[in-house]
Amino acid sequence: MSDLSNYRKSYEKSELLETNLPEDPINLFNKWFHEVEDFGGVDEVNAMTVATIGLDGFPKSRVVLLKKFNEEGFIFYTNYNSEKGRAILQNPNVCLSFFWHSMERQVIVKGVAEKTNENISDNYFASRPVGSQLGALVSNQSEIIPNREFLEDKLKVLEEEYQNKEVLRPNFWGGFLVRPVEVEFWQGRPNRLHDRIRYKMSENYYWNIDRLSP
């Protein structure tokens, strides 16, 4: 057994105060995202954890890549028939979380997911490298397969089939838009007295802003 009780770190890189908060959490997310991107130290700033309630009743989280965000919410892409996709289609309440260790920041988003329209999914799929497009066709995501060669053999067949031919998006693959109902921004501070600012959507579709105890 490994005892990690002596792992310690003092968080001292920034602060999050009410005096400089925008009214909309997306604006603050945009500011933080680009600050982390400019600061460096994170390989994929758009990596996020998506947590769902599975068909078996258990929560499950996994890391995916955020591909777009705007005033409507956060977009990522997946196979709709995957474990993740089926879980979201049954229960669209999801949680997204970002951890940017280089600036000692976290963002946690509670939201409701819905499929993006087909044009958005088509356009993004068309922008992907051909190898990634074929990979989406090869993989029956989350299904049991006999071995690695099974995937590689399917890919070889498709590479020949689609040589000099456009790869169209399959209808089982596309985007999810997560519309936020609550967004929490966490900034590490000394002595574990971290800054936690929560935006919560009201019944009138205004954002209420509160400071939470760390």
Structural tokens at position 146: 């006999």
Nearest to 184 by CA among 68, 19, 32, 66: 32
Cβ–Cβ under 8 Å, residues 159 and 100: no
Distance CA 204, CA 86 (A): 31
- Output DSSP code: residue 121: H
Indicate if 169 belongs to the active site.
Answer: no
List strand residue ranges (DSSP E) for 28-80, in order: 47-53, 59-65, 68-70, 73-79
Q: What share of the chain is helix, strand, coil (3-state, %, to 5)?
A: 30, 35, 35
| Rounded distance between C-alpha atoms, residue 153 and residue 159, angstroms | 10
Q: Which is the catalytic residue, given 86, 148, 192, 196?
A: 192
- Amino acid identity for residue 89 in this structure: L
| Catalytic residue set | 192
